[in-house]
């Protein structure tokens, strides 16, 4: 039996790496991958809690999260495609029009 604490700390670590990825990387697609990483870290903690609480809710939730993640990936990637067509770049620093 894996202790809950271990799972949660692994989850927190993966999540933090995902956060760092969002803040440090400049390639939009890699930033997007980091977001997926964060989603997975959350999934892991869901499963951990579900197991230690003898509940199925967490497992069903992951099912939904994965569907949402798939939808999000599809829409997000198509947005990236659309942006790439106009700006010919994947560098996040080039997408800074939304400001004062």
Partner 1 sequence: MSQIWLIPAFPLLGFLLNGFLGKFFGTRFVSFVGPMSIGLAFLQSVVLFFEMLKTEGHRIIENLYTWMAAGSFQVNISFQVDELSGLYLLIITGVGFLIHVYSIGYMKGESGYYRFFAYLNLFVFFMLILVLGDSFLLMFVGWEGVGLCSYLLIGYYFEKHSAAEACKKAFLFNRVGDFGVLSAVLLIFLSIGSLEFNTVNAQAAAQFEYGGVLVTVITLLLFLGATGKSAQIPLYVWLPDAMEGPTPVSALIHAATMVTAGLYMVARLSHLFMLAPVTMNVIAVVGTVTALLAATIAITQTDIKRVLAYSTVSQLGYMFLAMGVGAFTAGIFHVMTHAFFKALLFLGSGSVIHAMHHEQDMMRMGALRKKLPITYLTMMAGTLAIAGIPFFSGFFSKDEILWKAFSSPLGGGVFWALGFLTAGLTSFYMFRMMYLTFHGNSRVDSHLQSHLHESPWSMTGPLMILAVLSIFGGFFGVPHALHFLPNGMELYFHDFFAKLPGEAHGSVDTEIMLMILSVVLALFGWFWARRMYSGSLEAARRLSASWRTLYDLSLNKWYVDEIYQALIVTPGRLLSTHLLWQAFDKNVIDRSVNGSGVISRGAGGLIRGLQDGVMQTYALIFAIGTLTVIWYIF
Partner 2 sequence: MLTLFYIFAAISIICAFGVLFMRNPIHCALMLVGTFFCLGGIYVMLNAEFVAVIQVLVYAGAIMVLFLFVLMLLSTNEPSQVAVKWDAAKMLAVIITGGIFIQVASIFSDSALTLGEKGNYPLEKIEEIGSITLIGQLLFTEYVLPFEIISILLLVAVIGAVVIAKRRFN
Interacting residue ranges for partner 1, rule: CB under 8 A: 19, 22-24, 92-93, 95-100
Angle between helices 57-87 and 28-52 (to 10 degrees): 180
Q: Which is nearer to partner 1, 57 or 89 (CB)?
A: 89
Query: What does the alpha-carbon distance between residue 97 and residue 45 come to, in Å, rounded to a whole number?
Result: 37
| Partner interacting with residue 29 (select from partner 2, partner 1, none; CB below 5-8 Å by kind) | partner 2
**Residue 5, CB half-sphere, CA atoms under 13 Å: how many?**
0
Q: Of partner 1, partner 2, none, which one does residue 87 interact with (CB within 5 to 8 Å by kind)?
A: none
Q: Residue 79 binds which one of partner 2, partner 1, none, with CB within 5 to 8 A depending on kind?
A: partner 2
């Amino acid at each position: 039996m894996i202790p809950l604490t271990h799972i949660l700390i692994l989850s927190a670590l993966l999540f933090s790496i995902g956060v760092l990825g969002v803040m440090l990387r400049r390639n939009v697609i890699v930033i997007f991958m980091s977001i997926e990483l964060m989603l997975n870290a959350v999934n892991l903690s869901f499963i951990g809690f579900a197991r230690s609480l003898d509940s199925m809710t967490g497992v069903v939730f992951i099912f939904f999260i994965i569907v949402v993640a798939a939808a999000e990936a599809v829409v997000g990637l198509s947005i990236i495609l659309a942006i790439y067509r106009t700006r010919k770049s994947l560098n996040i620093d080039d997408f800074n029009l939304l400001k004062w």
